[in-house]
Structure 1
Amino acid sequence: MKKEIFIGMLVGLIANAVGLILTATLLGRGDDFTTVIKAAAAEGFLGKLISLGAVLNLISFFIFIRRKEDYRARGVLLVTVFIAVFTFLFKML
């Protein structure tokens, strides 16, 4: 059970990272990833960029639910909640 939750968390982190890279690439207008992240941090919308990156977690969550892999889906959900709390705290500071 713990292994399945860990696998789900790992998938959630990877999906979020890939989503963040895709979002930064699409919204970056041709700039490289680090430039987009630095500009987002300077302009105050890095939290929104991270939240948009978490959209891929939704896809992986529903894939795990459809395949009846509930513990992996729980791991993805845990990572998504962690990202939401992190984004909220980042926005408040």
Structure 2
Amino acid sequence: MKNKEVIIGIVIGLIASAVGLTLSLLFFGTGDSLNNSLNIAIAQGVFTKLVSIGALLNLGAFFLFINTNKESRAKGVLIATVIVALITIIIRFT
């Protein structure tokens, strides 16, 4: 059952990162739409920075799971954060 909790944490972490990226695009984006803001961010080279800002929502999910004694889910959120960080590094340096 522990693996199921870790997988749930990973899914929640990835969803939180996606929501955070969407919110950062809405807040910091300069385009008329979300798609336009995404294209502008990629063209200006700030997409990876927005992904990093978006991953901050994982911090809230992590501490929520720690405070409710769901360490396996917190571990999953941490794994999702590492996955997002690795993807960000790969995008940034290719």
Cα deviation 1:16-36 (Å, max 9, x = unaligned): 111111110011246211111
Q: Which residue of 2 aligns with 1:47?
A: 48
Q: TM-score, normalised by structure 1?
A: 0.95
SS state of the match for residue 31, structure 1?
coil
1:53-68 aligned within 5 A: 53-68=54-69
CA RMSD of aligned residues (A): 1.0
Q: What displacement does 1:85 show?
A: 1.0
Structure 2: runs of 5+ lacking an equivalent = none
Moved over 6 A (4+): none
Distance 2:51 2:68 in 1: 27
Q: Which residue of 1 aligns with 2:38?
A: 37
Distance 2:31 2:92 in 1: 26
1:2-21 aligned within 5 A: 2-21=3-22
Conserved? CA contact 1:25–1:31, under 8 Å = no
